[in-house]
Structure 1
Amino acid sequence: MISNENTNRAPERGPIIEAVGLGRDYVRSEGPFLRRTRRRIAAVEDVTFTVRPGEIVGYLGPNGAGKSSTMKMLTGILTPTSGTVRVAGMEPSRHRTRLAREIGVVFGQRTTLWWDLPLRESLTLTRHLYRVPADLHAERLAELTELLELGPFLDTPVRQLSLGQRMRGDLTAALLHAPSLLVLDEPTIGLDVVSKSTIREFLLRINAERGTTILITTHDLGDVERLCDRVMVIDHGRLAFDGGLSELRATVPTPRVLVVDLAAPVPEIEVEGARTVRVEGPRQWLELADNPAQVIERVARDHEVVDLTLREPDIETVVSALYRGAAPERGALAS
Structure 2
Amino acid sequence: MPIIRADNLSKTYRVADKQPGLRGTLRHFVARRHRDVPAVTGVSFQVEPGEVVGFLGPNGAGKTTTLKMLSGLIHPTGGSVRVAGFEPARREGAFLNQITLVMGQKQQLIWDLPPLDSLRVNAAVYGIPDGEAKRRIDELAEMLELGPELTRPVRKLSLGERMKAELMAALLHQPAVLFLDEPTLGLDVNAQVRVRDFLADYNRRTGATVLLTSHYMGDITALCPRVLLIHQGHLFHDGSLEALTERLAPQRQVRLELKQPQPPEAFAGYGTLEECQGHQVRLLIPREGLTATVGRLLTAFEVVDLEVSEPPVEELIGRLFRQGSL
Alignment match of 2:301 (pick from 300, 303, 307): 303
The alpha-carbon deviation at position 149 of structure 1 amounts to 1.5
More helix by share: 2
Equivalences for residues 181-260 of structure 1 within 5 A = 181-252=177-248, 255-260=251-256
Q: Does the residue aligned with 1:324 lie in a helix, a strand or coil? A: helix
TM-score calculated relative to the size of structure 2: 0.89
Kindly indicate whether the alpha-carbon contact (under 8 Å) linking 2:226 and 2:238 is maintained by their aligned counterparts in 1. yes
Q: Does the residue aligned with 2:6 lie in a helix, a strand or coil? A: strand
The alpha-carbon deviation at position 271 of structure 1 amounts to 2.3
Kindly indicate whether the alpha-carbon contact (under 8 Å) linking 2:3 and 2:47 is maintained by their aligned counterparts in 1. yes
Kindly indicate whether the alpha-carbon contact (under 8 Å) linking 1:257 and 1:311 is maintained by their aligned counterparts in 2. yes
The alpha-carbon deviation at position 261 of structure 1 amounts to 3.6
The alpha-carbon deviation at position 265 of structure 1 amounts to 4.1
Q: Does the residue aligned with 1:154 lie in a helix, a strand or coil? A: helix
Q: 229-238 or 193-202: which moved more?
A: 193-202
Kindly indicate whether the alpha-carbon contact (under 8 Å) linking 2:177 and 2:208 is maintained by their aligned counterparts in 1. yes
Counterparts in 2 of 1:29 and 1:254: CA distance versus 1, 3 Å: farther
Q: 2:32, 2:256 → 1: CA distance? A: 63
The alpha-carbon deviation at position 295 of structure 1 amounts to 4.8
Q: 1:306, 1:326 → 2: CA distance? A: 42
Match of 1:19 in 2: 6
For 1:213-263, what per-residue CA distance to the aligned partner results, in whole angstroms no more than 9, with x for missing partners?
A: 111100000000111111101011111111111121133357531222433
Aligned length: 315
Match of 1:4 in 2: none
For 1:250-287, what per-residue CA distance to the aligned partner results, in whole angstroms no more than 9, with x for missing partners?
A: 33357531222433444556424633334676442213
For 1:282-333, what per-residue CA distance to the aligned partner results, in whole angstroms no more than 9, with x for missing partners?
A: 44221346864475466456533355443222321221111111853xxxxx
The alpha-carbon deviation at position 20 of structure 1 amounts to 0.5
Kindly indicate whether the alpha-carbon contact (under 8 Å) linking 1:273 and 1:290 is maintained by their aligned counterparts in 2. no
Match of 1:29 in 2: 16
Q: 1:141, 1:110 → 2: CA distance? A: 21
Counterparts in 2 of 1:24 and 1:96: CA distance versus 1, 3 Å: farther
Q: 248-257 or 58-67: which moved more?
A: 248-257
Match of 1:276 in 2: 273
Counterparts in 2 of 1:227 and 1:285: CA distance versus 1, 3 Å: same
Gaps of 5+ in 1: 1-13, 329-335
Kindly indicate whether the alpha-carbon contact (under 8 Å) linking 1:75 and 1:96 is maintained by their aligned counterparts in 2. no
The alpha-carbon deviation at position 94 of structure 1 amounts to 0.9
Kindly indicate whether the alpha-carbon contact (under 8 Å) linking 2:251 and 2:287 is maintained by their aligned counterparts in 1. no
Counterparts in 2 of 1:290 and 1:206: CA distance versus 1, 3 Å: closer
Alignment match of 2:312 (pick from 314, 318, 328): 314
Are 1:103 and 2:90 an aligned pair?
A: no
Equivalences for residues 156-175 of structure 1 within 5 A = 156-175=152-171
Q: 2:65, 2:325 → 1: CA distance? A: 24
Identity of aligned residues (%): 41
